[in-house]
Amino acid sequence: MDMPTSQAENLDLFVNARLQFERALTWIDDIKVGLIDYLINPKRTIHVRFPIHMDDGSIRTFHGFRVLHNRVRGPGKGGIRYHPDVTEAEVSALAAFMTWKTAVVDLPFGGGKGGIICNPKELSRGELRRITRRFVNELGDAIGPHTDIPAPDVYTDAQTMAWIYDTFDMMHPGQNNRAVVTGKPLELGGSLGRDEATARGSMYATQQLLRRDVIPGMPTLDGVRVAVQGYGNAGNIAARLFHDDGAIIVAVSDSRGGICSDEGLDPVKVLAHKEETGSVVGFPGTKEITNEELLAYDCDILIPAALECQIRADNADNVKAKLIVEDANGPITVVADQILQAKGIHVLPDIVANSGGVVVSYFEWVQNLDNEQWDLEKVERLLEKKMVRAVDETVDTWTALNSKHKDGFNGTQFAPALRDAALVNAIKRLATVILQRDIWP
Ligand code: NAD
């Protein structure tokens, strides 16, 4: 396959997702060629446009998407994002990541994703409520507990999920509808541990990767210097959990900029400052840095936990970390992946690193269908088990691919990366189920 060069870098997330997939395919010699298109492209894409009464009396039309990428292993599963830069290509790529993620951690789900083009920072709570309710109304039976199940993503939260549940419940009275959406408030059937799940899962995954000796000289998080880009659900909780396990948080950032301190930051105090002022910037005793400087900060582990395509051809060479843990989806372009690999920097890929969110979403769904509420200890124990297994399987496959590479397998151009290994595992799982189900008439 021809990989793009840095001169020709394309920042379209779906193009990057496709190239990641095609790169992994070079390691699989027995894939049915006719399945490839089906495994890459979305099964179905819904566009909706709907008018909303704004608080000032005006009317605005909003545009939203729901992409069902694949549901061969179970109902579609994936978050809903509210952001001004949402595009169909972005949502399609995020939906594809969900298909591969649910396969790699072996959940009985497919992949989906949704988004509305809007700027939540400029919308009131009432406007957000009306947008969410109307969106769900427009989607109709395209979502449901056994068809496609939304969850939170960037700038949506438990309150958004409560509105989704309530709207769907009004449309389908007289049945248990709780499993239509995950990431709900606890009182509405949310799971204990869901708010922390993405970050906690990434911590368990990182701990296991270090136990497996993938990063020389870094067997645990103790004393490890960590920089985190993005201080929302994934980022701020990752900073706290990594800190609690002995890491030193040397730099963090949000959309307004970053801060650093080589003595280490207290993530809880930084969060309190962000809640009070709207940003991590200005936290006492720290130096201000840009997001670009954060990515290049002198640290051992870099955790991108904001948006996609942050580490690209033009800045990958500046990264100093030994390991990148992708709490965000798609933060590294394929060209940047090659640059990082050439520098010996490992990447714990998004489909493994941030899969804790969908793992606990799955636990929430199971609890909802059973009308049960598990205790936190059970959620965390089962989450850790899933994450450790996903990392072990990824590292085992990576080791096997490395041997194949040394033997000159397929004339493959690239040494395998952990991302290739995770995708190989996901693709094989999907292909097996497709063939077992014999889905063609
Ligand atoms: P969030 O809305 O809670 O937080 C996003 C954070 O990113 C905010 O702190 C925001 O200020 C910051 N940010 C936005 N633009 C930025 C920029 N240009 N530079 C630096 N920081 C910027 O969102 P989240 O749920 O934490 O999601 C973050 C990432 O994690 C996304 O890629 C998302 O897809 C991924 N993810 C989230 C979950 C989950 O359960 N929430 C699960 C899996 C993956």
User: pLDDT per position in the chain (441 positions), as tens?
Assistant: 556 665 568 999 999 999 999 999 999 988 888 889 999 999 999 999 999 999 999 999 999 999 999 999 999 999 999 999 999 999 999 999 999 999 999 999 999 999 999 999 999 999 999 999 999 999 999 999 999 999 999 999 999 999 999 999 999 999 999 999 999 999 999 999 999 999 999 999 999 999 999 999 999 999 999 999 999 999 999 999 999 999 999 999 999 999 999 999 999 999 999 999 999 999 999 999 999 999 999 999 999 999 999 999 999 999 999 999 999 999 999 999 999 999 999 999 999 999 999 999 999 999 999 999 999 999 999 999 999 999 999 999 999 999 988 887 766 678 999 999 999 999 999 999 998 888 665
State the pTM of this model: 0.96
**Ligand 1 centre and the CA of 313: distance in Å?**
22
Give nearest CA residue, ligand 1 atom 30: 328
**Alpha-carbon span 201 to 398, nearest angstrom:** 20
Give nearest CA residue, ligand 1 atom 40: 357
Closest CA to 323 of 419, 198, 258, 404: 419
Q: Would you state the structure tokens that stand for residue 113, as one six-digit string?
A: 């994703």
Closest CA to 420 of 3, 23, 16, 15: 23
**Ligand 1 centre and the CA of 235: distance in Å?**
7
Neighbours of 44 (CB within 10 A): 15
Based on DSSP, count helices (H) and strands (E) in the chain, helices before strands: 14, 12
Which residues 6+ apart lie within 8 Å of 220 measured at CB?
207, 210, 211, 245, 246
Give nearest CA residue, ligand 1 atom 41: 153
Give backbone dihedrals phi and psi of 49, rounded to 5 degrees, phi first: -125, 135
Give nearest CA residue, ligand 1 atom 18: 255
* Number of the ligand 1 atom closest to the C-alpha atom of 258: 20
- To test the ligand 1 pocket, which listed residue (153, 358, 362) has its Cβ within 8 A of the most ligand atoms? 153
Closest CA to 265 of 287, 281, 250, 282: 250
**Ligand 1 centre and the CA of 401: distance in Å?**
32
**Ligand 1 centre and the CA of 356: distance in Å?**
15
Active-site annotation holds for 113: yes
**Ligand 1 centre and the CA of 255: distance in Å?**
10
Give nearest CA residue, ligand 1 atom 14: 255
Ligand 1 proximal residues by C-beta, below 6 Å: 152-155, 198, 229-235, 253-255, 291, 305-307, 327-329, 354, 357
* Number of the ligand 1 atom closest to the C-alpha atom of 155: 2
Give the bridge partners for 65, in sequence order: 47, 115
* Number of the ligand 1 atom closest to the C-alpha atom of 151: 40
Residue of 101, 113, 184, 386 marked catalytic: 113
**Ligand 1 centre and the CA of 83: distance in Å?**
11
Q: Are 195 and 233 in contact (CB under 8 A)?
A: yes
| pLDDT (0 to 100) of residue 6 | 56
- To test the ligand 1 pocket, which listed residue (119, 154, 182, 362) has its Cβ within 8 A of the most ligand atoms? 154
**Ligand 1 centre and the CA of 328: distance in Å?**
6
| pLDDT (0 to 100) of residue 5 | 60
User: Which stretches does DSSP call E strand in 44-155?
Assistant: 44-53, 59-70, 76-83, 111-117, 148-152
Task: Determine whether 159 is exposed, middle or buried from the number of CB atoms within 10 Å of its CB (0-12, 13-18, 19+).
Answer: middle
* Number of the ligand 1 atom closest to the C-alpha atom of 331: 32
Give nearest CA residue, ligand 1 atom 29: 328
